[in-house]
Chain A
Amino acid sequence: DAKTTQPPSMDCAEGRAANLPCNHSTISGNEYVYWYRQIHSQGPQYIIHGLKNNETNEMASLIITEDRKSSTLILPHATLRDTAVYYCIVRGHGSGNTGKLIFGQGTTLQVKP
């Protein structure tokens, strides 16, 4: 699975959009980009994933560049409850993939009032 690089921390004002970047320059053609987050003292929570097209769900939007070497998770209207560590993970699908997630250091997002 490809390695990802994220900034260690970011701040965002409550009510504003939070844009969290992730670099994955060694991503291969069959690897997906997943985003999870971990709110303090809780288990990680799935947010969204995508392959090459932009994706949106009730939690967030995922923008993947055309060359797929980077992506951005967008929380459109951040709230204080969105303060968490956000993990960008690249993993493949396919019969040889065991499903394990490899977590990096993630980005600590602090949403401020």
Chain B
Amino acid sequence: DTAVSQTPKYLVTQMGNDKSIKCEQNLGHDTMYWYKQDSKKFLKIMFSYNNKELIINETVPNRFSPKSPDKAHLNLHINSLELGDSAVYFCASSPRGGLPVSNEQFFGPGTRLTVL
């Protein structure tokens, strides 16, 4: 009964390919996020969706396209993969993103993407 799950856990692919990472949460949360952790271990927000609506887009290249078919899922599709896309991608969810209440974020186990 994993709270936030991601598939696949590892993804190795060639430059120029298109790939997707899936995320699902069974916590009933309204808000979901994608973070990227690079080789220097810096964790950086990429996107956030609240009830299927995009609320954060942190100047990520438009090769990255998040899609939220319902509020329990937030998938990340990456076109024309580049070497610099190699990183660990974490999905997270929280009860509410922007309302005046405190809320913690629950993170998934991460997807390690390696672009060759």
Contact = CB atoms under 8 A, between A and B. Distances in A.
Given A43-B90, A44-B90, A99 B109 contact: no
A32 B107 contact: no
Contacts of A43: 4, 90, 92, 107-110
A20 B103 CA distance: 22
A99 B31 contact: yes
Contact of B96 (A87, A99, A101, A103): A99
A37 B45 CA distance: 16
Interface in A25-60: 32, 34, 38, 41-46, 49
Interface string B35-47: 1000001111100
Contact of B97 (A34, A38, A41, A99): A99
A101 B42 contact: no
Nearest to B31: A99
Contact of B33 (A41, A94, A100, A102): A100
A79 to B, nearest CB: 21
B90 A99 contact: no
B4 to A, nearest CB: 8
A101 B100 contact: no
A85 interface: yes
Contacts of B96: 99
Given A42-B110, A43-B107, A44-B107, A103 B43 contact: yes
A102 B101 CA distance: 18
Contacts of A94: 98, 100
B94 A44 contact: no
Given A42-B110, A44-B43, A97 B98 contact: yes
Contacts of B108: 43
B41 A98 contact: no
A93 B98 CA distance: 7
10 contacts: A43-B107, A46-B106, A93-B101, A95-B100, A96-B98, A97-B97, A100-B58, A101-B43, A103-B43, A103-B44
